[in-house]
Amino acid sequence: MGHINEIIPNELENRMKKENDLVVIDVREDEEVAQGMIDNAKHIPLAKIPELKDDLDQSKHYVFVCRSGRRSMKAASFMDEQGYRVSNMAGGMLKWEGEVVV
Q: Going from the N-terminus, what domains does the chain have, and what CATH number goes with each?
A: 5-96 (3.40.250.10)
Marked catalytic residue, from 27, 66, 75, 89:
66
Return the H-helix or E-strand segment holding 31.
Answer: helix 30-33
3-state secondary structure of 65: strand
pTM confidence score: 0.95
pLDDT of amino acid 2: 59
- Please confirm, yes or no, whether 36 is among the known catalytic residues: no
DSSP state of 60: S
Q: Span 38-64, mean pLDDT?
A: 97
Q: Span 29-47, mean pLDDT?
A: 97
Task: Evaluate whether 86 touches 4 at the Cβ level (below 8 Å).
Answer: yes
Percent of the chain with pLDDT over 70: 98
